[in-house]
């Protein structure tokens, strides 16, 4: 019994080795994933004097997400990690872990950080919003918060969104903890305090629905003008730009220009362009045009210094959970394939479009979990405006990675060259659909993401 069971195990082991060897024997050529083939957005932006940024989630900064965040973007904004509710959930007890991680990642990738955000009505800790404070106490809390957070990252933050969303749509001040307790001058107080805590950081006021010329953006304009006249430190305005498909304001460039003419920088701080789901090739083409228009407006004004998307992938966007039925708002799909919108940004920055951004099927490679010697990979083939009845995806490993096992595809590897073709049951990829396959592989030293070719 024992010997037959151990010989059974031996046969299994031999069979596994044989199949690994077979995988190692077969083979074909490889080529590039769309996002890897093009000049990174950060380089295109730099050539135009623009820093191209993205909001990020710290816990996701590994694998393909980290690879794209690190290579494509020259600026990171913590999506939530620097908000008051994140950093001081209990009064006097601080949690800097995610913010520190993002700042360290940015430094390692030669990126700027936009600090977001110090003074806001939202995502504050419960102890702060539920407390009852005198004006003097509120002022002290505000100033201590700014001293602590800005001081912690002194010298490492390019720009702070010091005050976020101070206005109502009609241009009156929003009724908030701060406005109600301290009056409109909480803004000047916060800016002055932030300047003292880190004289090198650019100080911004940031808001939404201030992209075009309208009552709200005019209120912001008048505020900035008066702050400058009073000698209050203000370096820039952030236009969040949470936009709706087909609704880029026609006065966007004019509005950016009028702020520039006031003597402040302008940043597009939180761009996303949402559509009613599901997406289709027509909507994606409109979205490309919209992204291109926003990018072009920033390119046209020298003082538009930073262009940041609020999450670069549809898998890391606030839109679907915030606007029911809306989504697909970012430049990469949920499988990290660049969408037409990516090429809209790229083209407005002077880049070239490869491959054709519409009516195509694309393959995107991503690393799932990774441990010291092995990793799990995934390839997703997505079609939009096109379809497939069979497929083959090829790539070349750059660092000795070796596939040991694949599922939902037949993969062969010869030397560095990998070729995977559909299984009998998943050759069809419909227009608007996708198919994925996975594999296990070994690695050592490094595990760079290869460029993949769909043929």
Task: Please identify the residue of the shown chain whose CB is closest to the bound ligand XIL.
Answer: 318
Contacts of residue 50, Cβ cutoff 8 Å, sequence gap at least 6? 298, 299, 304, 305, 306, 307, 349
Residue selected from 88, 211, 235, 270 as contacting ligand XIL according to rule CB under 6 A:
270
Is residue 318 at the binding interface for ligand XIL, with CB under 6 A as the rule?
A: yes
* Least distance to ligand XIL, CB of residue 358, Å: 28
Q: Which of 81, 167, 192, 177 is nearest to 131 (CA)?
A: 177
Within 51-90, which residues bind ligand XIL (CB under 6 A)?
A: 79-80
Report, in Å, the least distance between residue 287 CB and ligand XIL. 19
Going by C-alpha positions, the residue among 233, 231, 309, 435 that lies closest to residue 51 is 309
Whether the CB-CB separation of 262 and 221 falls below 8 Å is answered with yes
Please, which residue, 60 or 228, has the CB nearer to ligand XIL? 60
Q: Which is nearer to ligand XIL, 96 or 318 (CB)?
A: 318
Distance of alpha carbon 33 from alpha carbon 395, whole angstroms = 9
Please say which residue, 221 or 310, places its beta carbon nearer to ligand XIL: 310
For the packed helices 186-197 and 215-230, what is the interaxial angle rounded to 10 degrees? 60
From the CB of 318, what's the least distance to ligand XIL, in Å? 4
Listed residue (271, 273, 262) closest to 303, CA to CA: 262
Q: How far is the CB of 147 from ligand XIL (least distance, A)?
A: 22
Q: Which is nearer to ligand XIL, 271 or 349 (CB)?
A: 271
DSSP assignment of 348-390: HTT----S-SSSEEEEEEEEEEE-SSEEEEEEEEEEES--BSS
d(C-alpha 412, C-alpha 422), whole Å: 12
Q: Which of 149, 165, 211, 270 is catalytic?
A: 270
CA-to-CA distance for 27 and 159, rounded, in angstroms? 50
H or E element in which residue 434 lies: strand 434-442
Nearer residue to ligand XIL within complex by CB, 86 or 447: 86
Whether 211 is a known active-site residue: answer no
Sign for the CA dihedral angle at 157, 158, 162, 167 comes to negative
Comparing CB distances to ligand XIL, the nearer of 80 and 421 is: 80
> Which residues in the 141-170 window bind ligand XIL by CB under 6 A?
164
Q: How far is the CB of 241 from ligand XIL (least distance, A)?
A: 10
Is residue 124 near ligand XIL by the rule CB under 6 A?
no
Of 54, 240, 308, 335, which lies in the binding site for ligand XIL, with binding defined by CB under 6 A? 240
By C-beta, is 249 or 351 nearer to ligand XIL?
A: 249
Helix (H) or strand (E) holding 78: strand 75-78
Q: Report whether 46 contacts 295 (CB < 8 A).
A: no
Q: How far is the CB of 242 from ligand XIL (least distance, A)?
A: 6
Q: What 3-state DSSP class applies to 307?
A: strand
Q: Look at strands 242-244 and 236-239 and give their pairing.
A: unpaired
- Supply φ then ψ for residue 335, to 5 degrees: -100, 15
Looking at the DSSP bridge assignments, the partners of residue 126 are none
Q: Tell the smallest beta-carbon distance from residue 79 to ligand XIL (Å).
A: 4
Number of residues that bind ligand XIL (CB under 6 A): 6
Active site members: 270
Q: Which residues bind ligand XIL (CB under 6 A)?
A: 79-80, 164, 240, 270, 318
């Amino acid at each position: 019994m024992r010997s037959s069971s151990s010989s059974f195990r031996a046969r299994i082991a031999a069979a596994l080795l044989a199949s690994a060897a077979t995988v190692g024997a077969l083979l074909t050529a490889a080529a590039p994933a769309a996002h890897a083939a093009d000049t990174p957005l950060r380089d295109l932006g730099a050539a135009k004097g623009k820093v191209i940024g993205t909001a990020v989630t710290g816990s996701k900064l590994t694998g393909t997400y980290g690879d794209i965040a690190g290579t494509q973007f020259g600026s990171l904004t913590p999506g939530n990690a620097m908000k008051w509710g994140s950093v001081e959930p209990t009064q006097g007890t601080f949690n800097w872990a995610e913010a520190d991680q993002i700042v360290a990642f940015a430094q390692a990738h030669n990126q700027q950080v936009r600090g977001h955000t110090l003074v806001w009505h939202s995502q504050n800790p419960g102890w702060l919003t539920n407390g009852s404070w005198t004006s003097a106490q509120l002022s002290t809390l505000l100033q201590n918060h700014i001293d602590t957070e800005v001081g912690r990252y002194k010298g490492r933050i390019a720009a702070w969104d010091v005050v976020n969303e101070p206005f109502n749509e009609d241009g009156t001040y929003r009724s908030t903890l701060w406005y109600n307790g301290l009056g409109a001058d909480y803004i000047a107080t916060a800016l002055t305090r932030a300047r003292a805590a880190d004289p090198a950081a650019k100080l911004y006021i940031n808001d939404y629905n201030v992209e075009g010329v309208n009552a709200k953006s005019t209120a912001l304009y008048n505020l900035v003008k008066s702050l400058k006249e009073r000698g209050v430190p203000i370096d820039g305005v952030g236009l969040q730009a949470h936009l709706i498909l087909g609704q880029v304001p026609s006065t966007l460039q004019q509005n950016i220009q009028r702020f520039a003419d006031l003597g402040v920088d302008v940043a597009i701080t939180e761009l996303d362009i949402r559509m009613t789901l599901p997406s289709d090739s027509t909507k994606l083409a409109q979205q490309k045009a919209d992204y291109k228009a926003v990018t072009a407006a920033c390119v046209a004004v020298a003082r538009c210094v930073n262009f940041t998307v609020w999450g670069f992938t549809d898998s890391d966007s606030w839109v679907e959970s915030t606007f029911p039925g809306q989504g697909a708002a970012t430049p990469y799909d949920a499988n990290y394939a660049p969408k037409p919108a990516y090429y809209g940004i790229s083209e407005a920055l002077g880049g070239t479009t490869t491959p054709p951004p519409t009516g195509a099927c694309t393959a995107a490679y991503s690393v799932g979990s990774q441990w010291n010697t092995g990793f799990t990979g995934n390839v997703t083939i997505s079609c939009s405006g096109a379809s497939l009845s069979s497929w083959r995806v090829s790539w070349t490993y750059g660092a000795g990675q070796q596939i040991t096992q694949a599922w939902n595809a037949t993969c062969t590897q010869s030397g560095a060259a990998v070729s995977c073709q559909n299984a009998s049951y998943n050759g069809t990829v419909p227009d608007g659909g996708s198919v994925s396959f996975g594999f296990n592989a070994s690695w050592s030293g490094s595990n760079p993401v290869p460029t993949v070719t769909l043929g």
